[in-house]
A and B are shown apart, each in its own frame.
Chain A
Amino acid sequence: MISEETLRLRRVNWRIFFRRYGIVISFLLLCLVLSLLSDRFLTWTNILNVLRQSSINGIIAVGMTMVILTAGIDLSVGAILALTCVVTADLLQKGLPVPLAMLTGLALGAALGMFSGLLVSRLHIPPFIATLGLMTVSRGLALTYTQGRPITALPASFDFLGAGSIGPIPMPIIVAGLIFLIGYFILARTNLGFYIYALGDNPMAARLSGISVNKVILFVYALSGFLSALAGMVLTGRLDSAQPTAGYGYEFDAIAAVVVGGTSLAGGEGGLFGTLVGALLIGVLNNGLNLLNVSALWEGVVKGAVIALALLLYRAVK
């Protein structure tokens, strides 16, 4: 018989500790090295820089984390970002009120995501293929819609999302922070979160346990599309310009943040805390390369090596 008392007793399991928090140690080490190499690194403005620059990838990575937790993948995030932000910008220029244009853009993002969710859940098309197709079509539509030209000069109230700040904190950081909190709450506290983990862990058991597997899949892809659109609005506000070529390659940054953060591509394992650290690690790395003025020709090499090292380090400790 087990009493509640004994259930609370839990010895620290170092193996699990490092598996879960090892990446934090790698991240802190990287920060330490950078602060030794550049006295500018640990300044308030630079910290804000890193957070602001990580925010767009972070917002997308929240949706990507949920998709990957169900053992899926979403390659269309960058293209959805581009399409939704040019459509929103165009509506704004046509004189639509800011809230209405934003809602349209977000709804379009969610609808596009839902479309790939439909392909994956109902027609059993592999997520890689379904979202690759959506990526190509969305990117093409964004280019056609704008004839390849950026749309500039947007209302100041719209730009506030990307360029404004509340007190000393820039809006992108606030938005990303909120999204992480909401995402964390969904995954850790709600039925939906339970279902997402269960589906990724064992889809067959999930179905036989009475989980509406299709609805869960639909939700995660719709959310990923929605968050891509939101990230697009933050980016558009920051640049005061919507570009059909925006978001190129963002899917890889988001996937990298999720995977570096310890979420398994096979699904069912991981979470948003890891993704947050993963996104920050990538952000800090980009920032550090600029601060140290590393040559463009070496950038890729250094980036890859640091990410590999960060992963190796905590696997070795584990």
Chain B
Amino acid sequence: MKKFLILALSLVLIGGLLASCAPSQPSPSPTTTSPSPTPTAKKITLGLVLSTLNNPFFVTLRDGAQAEANKLGVTLIVMDSQNDSAKEASNIEDLISRKVDAILVNPTDADAVVPSIKKANDAKIPVFTIDRGANGGVIVSHIASDNVAGGKMAGEYLAKALNGKGKVVELEGIAGTSAARDRGQGFNEVMKNYPDIQIVARQTADFDRAKGLSVFENILTAQPEINGVFAHNDEMVLGAIQAAEAAGRTGIIFVGFDAIDDAIKAVKDGKLAATVQQQPALMGQLGVQTAVDYLNGKTVEKYIPVPLKLITKENAP
């Protein structure tokens, strides 16, 4: 009886595990573009390895890359690592054995990808990283959103909306992460130029909505007057909006970062003034462009910043 119970429970457990691990969509097999309608003299093949295609961000990135590849008439092989560094390693090995001209990789992990990059280096295939960087190997160039510029963009917007004066709160992301550092840096560089804007509180809420709510509740108590809030991501700013509503505090201008669906909705509803949006399509486009430029003998920058876009009520999608 006991053995049966053990067996039954283990089956349930395994079932649960599988259910939670199994990809909900069949993973796309490598797709190859049809040969371009305007064949160039030298046929270029690029490999694009994405950490996941389960996230709309990367789907858009792929679409942007594909469109650019079609435009330039190069072949693009797209591979999905399903957030698994082992899958990623075999994807890159595949590309190496298929002798692609260049590899664009969006690593699942900055460290785990290094051995694969070194293998590509050995095979003399140039490697480009997209969105997330790598901690080793030879990288021709890194194509990613410019978080510092995004922070500046948010800062400029907030400063203008406040007419250059007022009391501002900054909700920081997890201390020590690059996103929190860069976004904060850009924002504060701008704020220095506005002597009449005072940053009255600078607190971390760990990129978390629930923390954003309670931390902002506390700040609201501590600060009788707040005119503007910049949060390092949308989750925190949405929590803060919730806190302000519950406390009946109005007239605060909120600015977020990332343009997640909830945030775009809040922008449309007028609760959130603005949020900074990354442009994955542009990121994919710039990636392919940079690789082709490099293969055609042009010199490329070590870091290609992808511009960000400010979403406000006027341009909300």
| A contacts, CB < 8 Å to B | 38, 40, 43, 45-46, 49, 52-53, 56, 118-119, 122-123, 133, 137, 140-141, 143-144, 147-150, 152, 163, 235, 238-241, 243, 245-246, 248, 286-287, 289-291, 293-297, 299
The answer to whether B20 and A137 have CB atoms under 8 Å apart is: yes
CB B27 to nearest CB in A, in angstroms, measures: 15
What is the bound-complex CA distance between A113 and B62, given in angstroms? 42
Q: A150-B262, A290-B218 are in contact. Are A246 and B210 (CB under 8 A)?
A: yes
The answer to whether A119 and B9 have CB atoms under 8 Å apart is: yes
8 additional A-B residue pairs with CB within 8 Å, beyond A123-B5, A290-B215, A290-B222: A137-B20, A148-B55, A150-B209, A243-B209, A289-B203, A290-B201, A293-B201, A299-B204
Residues in B neighbouring A248, C-beta threshold 8 A: 208
**Quick check: which of B11-19, B29-37, B90-98, B156-164 contacts chain A, the rest being far away?**
B11-19
The one of B2, B5, B20, B219 in contact with A143, judged by C-beta atoms closer than 8 angstroms, is B20
The one of B55, B203, B239 in contact with A239, judged by C-beta atoms closer than 8 angstroms, is B239
What is the bound-complex CA distance between A241 and B217, given in angstroms? 17
> Mask for B202-224, Cβ within 8 A of A = 1, else 0?
11100011100111011101100
Asked if B69 is an interface residue, CB under 8 A from chain A, the answer is: no
The one of B5, B20, B239 in contact with A140, judged by C-beta atoms closer than 8 angstroms, is B20
Closest 9 A/B residue pairs (Cβ): A140-B20, A296-B204, A290-B218, A296-B175, A46-B221, A53-B214, A291-B222, A137-B16, A141-B20
Asked if B103 is an interface residue, CB under 8 A from chain A, the answer is: no
The answer to whether B213 and A238 have CB atoms under 8 Å apart is: yes
Main secondary structure of the interface of A (DSSP, over half): helix
- Chain B contributes a number of interface residues (CB within 8 A of A) equal to 40
Asked if B238 is an interface residue, CB under 8 A from chain A, the answer is: yes
What is the bound-complex CA distance between A241 and B238, given in angstroms? 10
The answer to whether A287 and B218 have CB atoms under 8 Å apart is: yes
The answer to whether A52 and B217 have CB atoms under 8 Å apart is: yes
Q: Among residues 174 to 202 in chain B, which have CB atoms less than 8 Å away from a CB atom of chain A?
A: 175-176, 200-202
The answer to whether B20 and A144 have CB atoms under 8 Å apart is: yes
| B contacts, CB < 8 Å to A | 2, 5-6, 9, 13, 16-17, 19-21, 24, 54-55, 172, 175-176, 200-204, 208-210, 213-215, 217-219, 221-222, 238-239, 242, 246-247, 261-262, 265
Most chain B CB inside 10 Å of its own CB: which residue of A43, A56, A152: A152
Residues in A neighbouring B213, C-beta threshold 8 A: 238-239
Residues in B neighbouring A294, C-beta threshold 8 A: 203
Residues in A neighbouring B200, C-beta threshold 8 A: 293
The one of A45, A286, A295 in contact with B214, judged by C-beta atoms closer than 8 angstroms, is A286
What is the bound-complex CA distance between A209 and B208, given in angstroms? 48
The one of A53, A123, A239 in contact with B242, judged by C-beta atoms closer than 8 angstroms, is A239
CB A294 to nearest CB in B, in angstroms, measures: 8
Residues in B neighbouring A147, C-beta threshold 8 A: 24, 54
The answer to whether B203 and A293 have CB atoms under 8 Å apart is: yes
Most chain B CB inside 10 Å of its own CB: which residue of A144, A246, A296: A296
What is the bound-complex CA distance between A289 and B204, given in angstroms? 10
What is the bound-complex CA distance between A78 and B218, given in angstroms? 23
The answer to whether A239 and B202 have CB atoms under 8 Å apart is: no
The answer to whether A238 and B242 have CB atoms under 8 Å apart is: yes
Q: Which residue of A lies closest to B211 (CB)?
A: A286
What is the bound-complex CA distance between A241 and B241, given in angstroms? 13
What is the bound-complex CA distance between A243 and B210, given in angstroms? 10
What is the bound-complex CA distance between A133 and B217, given in angstroms? 35
Q: 12 interchain pairs (CB within 8 A)?
A: A45-B221, A49-B217, A49-B221, A53-B217, A56-B210, A137-B20, A239-B239, A248-B208, A293-B200, A293-B222, A296-B203, A299-B204
Q: Which residue of A lies closest to B265 (CB)?
A: A152
What is the bound-complex CA distance between A41 and B262, given in angstroms? 33
The answer to whether A144 and B19 have CB atoms under 8 Å apart is: yes
Q: A239-B209, A293-B203 are in contact. Are A141 and B218 (CB under 8 A)?
A: no
What is the bound-complex CA distance between A40 and B217, given in angstroms? 12
The answer to whether B24 and A163 have CB atoms under 8 Å apart is: no
Q: Which residue of A lies closest to B23 (CB)?
A: A144
Residues in B neighbouring A290, C-beta threshold 8 A: 201, 203, 215, 218-219, 222
The one of A137, A144, A241 in contact with B262, judged by C-beta atoms closer than 8 angstroms, is A241
CB A48 to nearest CB in B, in angstroms, measures: 9
Q: Which residue of A lies closest to B12 (CB)?
A: A115
What is the bound-complex CA distance between A227 and B121, given in angstroms? 54
CB A261 to nearest CB in B, in angstroms, measures: 21
The answer to whether B242 and A141 have CB atoms under 8 Å apart is: no
